[in-house]
A and B are shown apart, each in its own frame.
Chain A
Amino acid sequence: MRNNSIRAIGFAVAISLLLLIANMTVPKTVLSMDQHTWSDQEKAILGSLWIGSLGSLPVDPSNKYSDNPKAAAFGRKLFFEDHFSGNMKVSCATCHREDYSFTDNLPLSHGMDTTPRRSMPLAGVAYNSWFFWDGRTDSLWSQALGPIESKLEHGISRTMSAYIISKYYREEYESLFGPIPEITEDKWPQKARPAQDDPNALKAWVLMTPEQKEAVNRIYVNMGKSIAAFVRTILPQPSPFDHYVEQIQAADTTNPRMALTNDEVAGLRLFIGKAKCTNCHNGPMFTNSDFHNLGLPQNKKAASDEGRSTAITQVLSSEFNCLGKYSDAHPNECSELRFIDTSDKKYVGAFKTPTLRGVTDRPPYMHAGQFATIREVLEFYRSQAQNPELGHGDLTDKELNQLEAFLHTLSSPVTSLQAEVK
């Protein structure tokens, strides 16, 4: 008995010594080289996430002004203009703050009143196929028009918007889009809009002449197209992650100044491997632009939300969609709308995968700000290990730390090219 214990202790000591020797004989440099060794398949994935694979801004065939610098400069003014609101205090920039990655820090955004969802970040938004959390518009210009007429956001009407343009921006507007009629307060009801939530505004809209409605719609649409021309120039800059990919692609792995720390690299390895984050957060914007129901807890301050499910008919019936009369696209160019998945039941409670570029700079998280920190988001995903859509492997606390460290490397300044044009 005693002999056995002594033998066991001796064995343990011998093993420990062996391990110690083994550890000592492995130079640290070899370990760090292993850290930066990626298979060809992994390199291909890194390349697909690299900002360099974004390519030039995608053409928006429905907006012929999208790459017009004058329209973008005009749109920039409209973006920051707080006259387009019921209290003269709300502009697009209220919830898309330039100093906060063009989003805000609230769980539920607040314009004229509290909205049911969080504001979306705008950096690289032009690379999306669908807009808003539920994708209820199919272009950036039609997206820009939604909040203006929403009671909770800007809280004014399209007729009032047309009136403000005619009064304060006439020259600039006409130099881009041609003449606008005289819009007088006596003959043009200021609160008129085709509203489902305001019978008086709807009645006023219905009583307008077809010519008046058409004139207002044209001005309203051109406002949206100008704002979109500006917003599409808001882009993420290369991040430490992107510099790291460049180092890997250049086989510069012995550089003493690798762009990522060992923990960050370990997090990246989990991100594209075991944790399967790239299932949805893929491509250079770290999003597949698709809609998923994650089974998130509900924000108790927000009403229950059907998400994509109800947005499908909204985008199909929108007068401002890609196939509508205000679109500049040939119908064949409206691929997303033509092949939209109409299985609404499949998308109950589903919301768009958001970009992860700059994600740690802009808490809170999820479509209704359910989580205050990125750590809570990671903890949530870990708790969903049994969900086939969300299976992120059995992640340890250390691995969660590494993933969090990696997400910080996606931060970069957000700039608008338009800022230089002015």
Chain B
Amino acid sequence: MRRILLVVIASISLLMGCAATNEPMPGHNGGMTEGHGHGDAQITQHFDDSLTKLTDNDLYSLELVIPNKNLMMGVNTVEIIVHHATGGDVAQGELTVTPWMPGMGHGVMEKTVITERGGGLYSVDNVVLSMTGHWQLQVKVSKDGKEDTAVFDFPEVKAMGHEHAMMKAPPPKDLDYSTMKMTSSDAFNVMYKSTSGKIRINRIHSWELTVKDADGRPVNDAKITVVGDMPEHGHGLPTQPEVAKIGSGGLYRIDGMKFTMPGWWVVTVSIMVNGVHDSVSFNLNIL
């Protein structure tokens, strides 16, 4: 939802302002960032919390917008706004975006999917980051035979769920403590239960997870990750749980769950299967 909104806002503002007139338009920060490029090359920025970069040979100005603020392990979507470094947006450019792990010397099998939205805005879907750690997004732009590249660096990509860290926030009232929920984009229905009944503090225990698709059919062979977090304290589980499939019927077993502090915990289950990635967060109150 948030993403769609962003695309709409970005598209409208680009079409109305920048793209239509090539004039600087007031962005969220009350004005376009003045050029801090080399020579004539200028960086154009529309959003406050976006990342900007000139390509290596100063041909293009890139603005990277991450709708969820941070890249996470799993499937991500980002937006890239491409301008000529001399001003003016790059329409009908050829864009490739490649995730890369510099420390490991490898990327991923999955290819990113790029859709031009107009006014120099390109959506980059299916940015698959298969593990936590140091990642880069290598961006190549080609327009009228002029090719240039830039690299965006993400030193610490975390697993989903860790974006809660350090909120120092007390639990909101009317927290939803249900044990069965739809994932955030409604792709899956997920239910959990502790195999030893009531969850007790400081006890290692197991969960049984039932995963179904939106039509109620069991989802087997999914890649599932589990992250636990205490939003009030900014730390996770004291263990590293493991997920194993049990038979068919969309049943999985999570071993090694343990909660060592009383209070509000958030357990985020991420599910990846057949190119679909979605996640759900369960709230727990541990006594």
Contact = CB atoms under 8 A, between A and B. Distances in A.
B263 A279 contact: yes
Interface residues of B, number: 23
Nearest to B204: A335
Given A44-B287, A341-B237, A389-B233, A336 B260 contact: no
A283 interface: yes
Interface string B203-217: 010000000000000
Contact of B201 (A288, A335, A339, A389): A288
A335 B195 CA distance: 15
A339 B235 contact: no
B68 interface: no
A48 B262 CA distance: 11
A282 B262 contact: yes
Given A279-B261, A282-B262, A290-B238, A338 B256 contact: yes
Contacts of B179: none
B240 interface: yes
Contact of A388 (B233, B239, B255): B233
Interface string B185-210: 00000000000000001101000000
Given A48-B287, A283-B202, A388-B234, A340 B168 contact: no
B4 to A, nearest CB: 34
A75 B154 CA distance: 55
A2 to B, nearest CB: 51
Interface of B: 166, 168, 201-202, 204, 232-235, 237-242, 255-256, 258, 260-263, 287
Contacts, number: 61
Contacts of A346: 235
B256 A339 contact: yes
Nearest to A283: B202
Contacts of A44: 287
B239 A45 contact: no
Contacts of A90: none
Interface residues of A, number: 24
10 contacts: A48-B287, A279-B261, A280-B260, A282-B201, A283-B201, A288-B261, A290-B238, A291-B238, A335-B255, A342-B240
A105 to B, nearest CB: 29
A339 B239 CA distance: 5
A282 B242 CA distance: 26
A339 B234 contact: no
A291 B263 CA distance: 18
Contacts of A279: 233, 261-263
7 smallest beta-carbon distances between A and B, as pairs: A339-B256, A288-B260, A339-B239, A290-B260, A335-B204, A290-B238, A279-B261
A210 B165 CA distance: 51
Given A283-B201, A289-B202, A388-B166, A339 B261 contact: no
Nearest to A287: B202
Interface centre among B168, B258, B262 (most CB of A within 10 A): B262
Contacts of B261: 279-280, 282, 288, 290
Interface in A38-79: 41, 44-45, 48
A374 to B, nearest CB: 22
Nearest to A47: B287
